[in-house]
């Protein structure tokens, strides 16, 4: 199949993308001590710079909210300098890159945060799963509900992280409001049982996201801000009683705020369609994600359902994924055992089509 539509340029807010193939944000746990990005991460992202846009892995906006081992942060001078290595390498390779700003919320663990109890909208733990810590796998703990004054601190933390991202040379930021982390925990009623101004109604549950966007917009401009949503993803014990109503409300609010793009992770096939209510309420660029093939991507872009696609695992295992799509070339098989390990194996050593490391 000819995938020419995937290679059409597109304007995404202030960003001009040469194609519609996006690197999805994927935790890789390769940061150095103190959550500092290093030369290895710079190499990884630069290898993949031929995509229209690179979205980084989830990056701690605020210190003390680690939910993985060796994920990066953006709250220290050392981290800013480390990310500058990454952005300089990507830009030198002709790419564009945005930083995904993230707070783990109840997905964090005391063993990763000097004993600190994680925070969440409500004191409801993640169940049925365990988290990897330096002391082995452990069950998640019950978080403490954020009081109003600490919610204000979260907003300040995201604003500072956005400032740091600009200093680090990024082209924009993506707010991670998906996959059962803090902003998503506020959005969905399965995890948010608050009865104050941040709980109950759709407007109240979205309030934190709106306030963070308001705080970040003067720094970046709305046209360099994206938001990732996943109202159907059950990961991290997440649920919502009305995901279509939720995404419709959020899409309308994001449209009103004129953000650059809405990044949506679709749910299982048997779940309700989210793209129609998004298109009805949001008139900006829609980036879709989760197990799209190039053929399906082409079809949906042509149909006007979406505008671009964020590819995860195949782009991870194929640094030259756009070139392989264009050539109809075979793909490297991903090495799942190295996704969250250390060092270059399964990270920067995947070969390009010429069978040498990119």
Q: What is the token pair recorded at 41?
A: 């991460």
Q: Chain centroid to CA 106: how far?
A: 17
Tell me if 312 sits within 8 A of 334, measured CB to CB.
no
Token match 């919502």: residue? 240
90: which residues sit within 8 A by CB, 6+ positions away? 42, 45, 46, 49, 54, 96, 97
Token match 């409300």: residue? 249
Q: How many residues does the chain have?
A: 358
Residue 88 host element (H or E): helix 77-92
How many other CB atoms sit within 10 Å of the CB of residue 125? Answer: 14
The C-alpha atoms of residue 350 and residue 352 are separated, in whole angstroms, by: 7
The C-alpha atoms of residue 82 and residue 11 are separated, in whole angstroms, by: 29
How many other CB atoms sit within 10 Å of the CB of residue 345? Answer: 12
Cα distances from 262 to residues 51, 97, 203, 288, 330, in angstroms, run: 18, 16, 18, 8, 31
Tell me if 54 sits within 8 A of 95, measured CB to CB.
yes
181 among known catalytic residues: yes
Which of the residues 45, 75, 140, 181 is marked catalytic?
181
Q: Using only C-alpha atoms, what is the Rg of the chain?
A: 19
Q: What is the token pair recorded at 232?
A: 């159907």
Tell me if 184 sits within 8 A of 209, measured CB to CB.
no
Catalytic residue positions?
181
């Amino acid at each position: 199949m000819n995938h020419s539509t995937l290679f059409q340029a597109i304007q995404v807010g202030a960003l001009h993308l040469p194609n519609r193939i996006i690197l999805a944000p994927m935790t890789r746990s390769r940061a150095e001590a103190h959550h500092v990005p290093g030369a290895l991460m710079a190499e990884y992202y630069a290898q993949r710079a031929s995509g229209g846009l690179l979205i980084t892995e989830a990056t701690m906006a605020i210190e003390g909210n680690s939910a993985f081992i060796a994920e990066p942060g953006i709250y220290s001078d050392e981290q800013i300098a480390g990310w500058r290595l990454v952005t300089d390498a990507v830009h030198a390779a002709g790419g564009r890159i945005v930083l995904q700003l993230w707070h783990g919320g109840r997905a964090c663990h005391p063993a990763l945060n000097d004993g600190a109890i994680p925070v969440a909208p409500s004191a409801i733990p993640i169940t049925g799963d365990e988290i990897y810590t330096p002391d082995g796998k452990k069950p998640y703990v019950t978080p403490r509900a954020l009081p109003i004054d600490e919610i204000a601190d979260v907003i300040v933390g995201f604003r500072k992280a956005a400032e740091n991202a600009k200093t680090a040379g990024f082209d924009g930021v993506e707010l991670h409001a998906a996959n059962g982390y803090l902003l998503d925990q506020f959005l969905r009623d399965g995890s948010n049982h608050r009865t104050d101004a941040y709980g109950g109604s759709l407007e109240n549950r979205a309030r934190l996201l709106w306030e963070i966007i308001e705080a970040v917009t003067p720094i970046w401009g709305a046209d360099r801000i994206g938001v990732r949503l996943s109202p159907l993803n059950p990961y991290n014990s997440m649920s919502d009683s009305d995901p279509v109503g939720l995404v419709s409300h959020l899409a309308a609010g994001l449209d009103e705020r004129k953000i650059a793009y809405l990044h949506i992770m679709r749910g299982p096939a048997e779940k309700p369609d989210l793209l129609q209510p998004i298109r009805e309420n949001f008139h900006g660029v829609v980036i879709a994600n989760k197990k799209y093939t190039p053929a399906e991507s082409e079809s949906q872009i042509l149909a006007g359902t979406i505008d671009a696609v964020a590819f995860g695992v195949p782009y991870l295992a194929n640094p030259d994924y756009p070139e392989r799509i264009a050539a109809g070339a075979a793909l490297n098989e991903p090495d799942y055992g190295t996704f969250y390990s250390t060092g270059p194996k399964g990270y920067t050593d995947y070969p390009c089509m010429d069978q040498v490391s990119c």
